[in-house]
Each structure stands twice: as structure tokens, then as C-alpha cells.
């Protein structure tokens, strides 16, 4: 999973997989879900992110340590 924030457009995009999005659905004003060809959710676009989320803080809870590579 990747998080990308674009300061110029004030958009936060959450990449849930590497699959290409072929369809989108705006489920709420400013919240767009992107889907792969098989219907699986591949990303979430949050527009006007600084107004709807606390982008200054990222908290990760209960993520298995095995998912991190040793530096």
C-alpha cells in the first residue's frame, strides 16, 4: 500500500494494489474509489484532503513487523 499526497491539488491517493484502475465511482463528494477490471478496489482518492483528513499525522496500528524490510 502506498500513500501519495499532492500539495498542488490537495489530493491524497491511497494505492491499495499495483493493479490498473479501469473504473471509478465517486461515493461521496470528493471521495473517489478506483476499481480494477475484476472489480477489486485498487485505490481511494480523497480530494481537498487537508480539509477532510489530518494529513499532518499518519498513525499505523497493528501492522505485522514481517511486512517491513530490514535496512
Could you report the per-residue pLDDT of 13-41, keeping only the tens digit for each? 999 999 999 999 999 999 999 999 999 99
Task: Give the chain's domain count.
Answer: 1
Q: How far is CA 29 from the centre of its chain?
A: 16
pTM beyond 0.95, yes or no: no
- Give residue 23's domain range: 2-67
Contacts of 46 (CB under 8 A, 6+ apart): 11, 12, 13, 14, 30, 31, 52, 53
**Are 11 and 22 within 8 A, CB to CB?**
no
**Are 25 and 41 within 8 A, CB to CB?**
no
Amino acid at each position: 500500500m502506498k500513500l501519495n499526497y499532492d500539495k498542488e491539488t490537495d489530493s491524497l491517493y491511497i494505492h491499495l494494489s499495483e493493479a490498473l484502475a479501469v473504473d471509478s465511482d465517486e461515493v461521496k463528494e470528493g471521495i473517489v474509489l478506483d476499481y480494477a477490471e475484476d472489480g477489486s478496489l485498487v485505490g481511494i482518492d480523497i480530494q481537498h484532503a487537508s480539509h477532510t483528513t489530518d494529513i499532518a499525522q499518519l498513525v499505523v496500528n497493528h501492522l505485522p513487523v514481517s511486512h517491513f524490510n530490514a535496512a
